[in-house]
Structure 1
Amino acid sequence: MNRNIILYCFSFLFLLACDGMNDNIKEYLDRGEINYIGRADSATAMGGINRIKFMWKINTDPRITSGKIYWNDKQDSISFPIDRGLIDKDGYFTHILDDMPEGTFIFNLYHVGMDNSLSIGYEIPGTIYGDIYKSTLSPRKIKRVEALADKVNLYWGDAGSSSGILFTYTNKTGEKKTIDIPASETVTVIDDYVLGGEYYYKTMFLPEKDALDQFELDSPVDKFPTYYVGDGSLDDNFPEYPKLDRTVWKIIDFSSEEPTGEGANGRAALIIDNDPSTFWHSEWEATTAQLPHYISIDMNTVKNVKCVTIAKRQSNTDLKTAHIEISTDNHSWEIVGKVEFEKTENPNARTIVLGETKKARYMKLVITESHRSPSASISEVYVLGTE
């Protein structure tokens, strides 16, 4: 009997508790079902330069009149009207927040009804870019510019995170031309360049795949080489610039010569004797002359120089790099071109072709590298130009 009394008491207390619970939720039950307005769908954010773009799908709910975006833990927000005429063919609406601080944020997007009721929110992470991001970028570098008779080759360094290059130059018709160079390109070939012509470029960066804006880093204005190097047999290419007569030319200075060890050869004067079988050689018997070697020539009067050909000693591989300097007064010198030779017998000669003729009376041949350092030899130096 005592057991039955105890069970009865527990049952009575349980029923009282349930009745109190119904009182607590009664006010929510009385409200009935909440019918939210249509929620944003498939929302994305695209970061830009101090701004961010949102795109999302809007359904056909006629109660949607505007939108609202919160960020900074809902401390900041912006409201905007939704014009259904601006929804694209795929059902997407776009809104851009301008004048935003740089950083990464969590945005909450809501649709707003005519009675200011809100839809269920849509959370979107997004990043806005600015000076901090830009300070981490470096422009893509040009490793080497190779000028040739009919084209110039630009050899690019590592692209890093860049998305491409906008390269602007002056072409042969005098027009400024801009070409788009993809980040994947390592060598750019330009076939309408001008020797000595100006160029500049912008390195482009997309901070994210579908970024709203791209960053541009300007590189300073530079110039293409003022010369190109040919194979040493260019006489027929420039009929208006004949090979200059060297009979009155004189050697006026040299770093060294070999007066005895090469027999009839070795002396500096032999580079202008019009005999390719003879040659100058750096001194090696009495003492060993060190690089760089040089020989200075007086061409007797001022010439208009178009091309300079440097010919190696025949069947010899010593010469590696040399350059030509010119002057009108034997005091102020200008380097006008450089040649490089592989360690092979051929080509025997290389020709520096200037974009524009240069006035010069004095010419200096400077040898800076040898394949058999420090020894070097030269057979002839020719000039194409006018008196």
Structure 2
Amino acid sequence: MKYIYGICCFLLCCLVLQGCTKDDTEFKSYLKVGEIVYPGRTSAVLNKPGNLRTALWWNPSTDPTITKYVVYWNNKTDSVVVKATSHSPLDTVKVIIPDLKEYTYSFVIYSYDALGRKSVPVEANNVRVFGTLYQSGLLNRPYNGTTPYTLNDNGSLLLNFNTPDTININTVIKYTNAAGVVVEKILKPDSATVLLPNYKPGSNIQYRSSYIPGKGALDTFTVAAYSTFPRIYSYVLCDRLLFKEVHLAHDANTYESGTSISKLWDGSVGPQGYPNIFHSSGNSGMPHTITFDLGKVYDNLSRIEETGRDCCNNPDDFEVWGIADLSGADTNLNADNSGWKDESIAKGWVLLKEVIRTDDGKNAVSSELNNNGKPIRYIRIRIKHVTTGDGNYSNMSEIRFWNKQ
């Protein structure tokens, strides 16, 4: 037994000695590729939208081993390489991805070191790229529909606009000044008005707005076409030197030759006294009409100003009718006939306005006319009532007309 015990102890010692002679790092032979090393990745990525392109911004990785960044998109079928020139987190890496389609993209960014080892990915998802489809949906900034403009006495014009979208950059206003020169003004998004000096009345005004698709965008998108501002008219006084008397059948006669219809455009100002007035005859009846020629055709006859006599028989209810040509325009019925109005319309006359006054009828009163888009040369006044209630006499001092252009 002692012999057997001794042999066992000897063998055990040999085994221990043999084990101590082996390499204690031999297990590493089982790690065929060594430890996996991931270089430092970038920070979160910012996107700057553009027109068929986009920009990606990020702060550099602080890992000094980084030599480049690779940006992938379209399931890694497209990529761009960006050299790492800084490792300061205060700097910014900027890369523009051009030649994209109008689409929403996802980008993946890897950092690489000199040994070709790459970081874990950083993703930029839902990156929208804009183009013609986005541009086609843009609208020019709306003007103020209630008060679109104010025409000032000094010839300047103030345009009024509504509040724009927050992505509006500016609106270009194009107009013609009094010298016939086309001028451009810029309406900024934080302003609701723009002043156009020396505006040429009646000339067209066009405007076009520009927008960005988002904060920090690379590109500005402009609405494809100009819009036309509502037509701005000025009132031009009709030349009373061209006015002429016309006498149609059933028109009222004048009281005497010195109180003829032509007194209405003799240039006097304010309520006049007899005989410097128009005075109808004593058998005119009520209603009665007078007719005269403006001397030329006006396409947009738009305003009348009537001044009464200084005392009495001033019209407080009268109609203003107009027509371009008197051929066949005379009426067969008297002005007091209930069918007179329908006959006048049938013969081409246009009712421009019925003026009803609630005062004594003396002072000048202006009224807007509606020519219904018809040219006007001849005027017929149908006097329906006077302030005194008289059944024959009507008196007026002056009549003036304006054309919008």
- TM-score bracket, shorter-length normalisation: 0.5 to 0.7
The residue number in structure 2 matching 1:41 is 43
Gaps of 5+ in 2: 1-25, 272-276, 280-284, 328-352, 369-374, 383-395
Larger Rg: 2
**Partner residue, 2:305:** 311
Identify unmatched segments of 5+ residues in structure 1.
1-22, 235-240, 332-337, 353-359, 368-377
Residue 52 of structure 1, CA deviation? 0.8
CA spacing shift, 1:249–1:171, aligned 2, 3 Å: same
Confirm whether residue 55 of structure 1 aligns to residue 22 of structure 2. no
Equivalent residue runs for 1:1-387 within 5 Å: 31-32=34-35, 34=37, 36=39, 38-59=40-61, 61=63, 63-72=65-74, 74-82=75-83, 84=85, 91-125=91-125, 126-142=127-143, 143=145, 144-149=148-153, 150-157=155-162, 159-160=164-165, 163=168, 164-172=170-178, 175-220=181-226, 222=228, 225=231, 227-229=233-235, 244-245=240-241, 248-250=244-246, 269=261, 272=264, 274=266, 277=271, 297-299=292-294, 310-312=304-306, 348-349=364-365, 362=377, 380-382=398-400
- Paired residues of 2:244 and 2:292 also in contact (CA < 8 A): no
Q: Greater share of strand residues, 1 or 2?
A: 1
Secondary structure in 1 aligned to 2:52?
coil
Cα deviation, residue 101, structure 1: 2.0
Alignment partners' CA distance in 2, 1:96 and 1:342 = 72
C-alpha separation between the residues in 2 aligned to 1:216 and 1:84?
37
Equivalent-residue separation in structure 1 for 2:357 and 2:88 (angstroms) = 63
- The structure-2 alpha-carbon separation of the partners of 1:113 and 1:349, relative to structure 1 and needing over 3 Å to count, comes to farther
- C-alpha displacement at 1:202, in angstroms? 1.5
One-letter amino acid matched to 2:102: E
Structure 1: which amino acid aligns with 2:34?
R
Once superposed, what is the RMSD of the aligned Cα atoms?
5.8
8 Å CA contact 1:70, 1:76 repeated in 2? yes
Contact kept? 2:202, 2:234, Cα under 8 Å: no
Q: Output the CA distance in 1 between the equivalents of 2:191 and 2:213.
A: 20
Paired residues in the alignment total 304
Of all paired residues, the percent bearing the same amino acid is: 17
Cα offset, 1:220, TM superposition: 3.8
Aligned to 2:330: none
**Alpha carbons 2:54, 2:96 under 8 Å: kept:** yes
**CA distance change for structure 1 residues 35 and 272 in 2, over 3 Å: closer, same or farther?**
same
Instruction: Please give the TM-score of this superposition, normalised by the length of structure 1.
Output: 0.56
The letter for the 2-side match of 1:311 is E
Which deviates the most, 192-201 or 215-224? 215-224
Q: Match of 1:147, as an amino acid?
A: L
Alpha-carbon shift at residue 203 of structure 1 (Å) = 1.7
TM-score, normalised with respect to structure 2: 0.54
What is the identity, as a one-letter code, of the residue corresponding to 1:113? D
Confirm or deny: 8 A CA contact 1:195 1:225 kept in the other structure. Answer: no
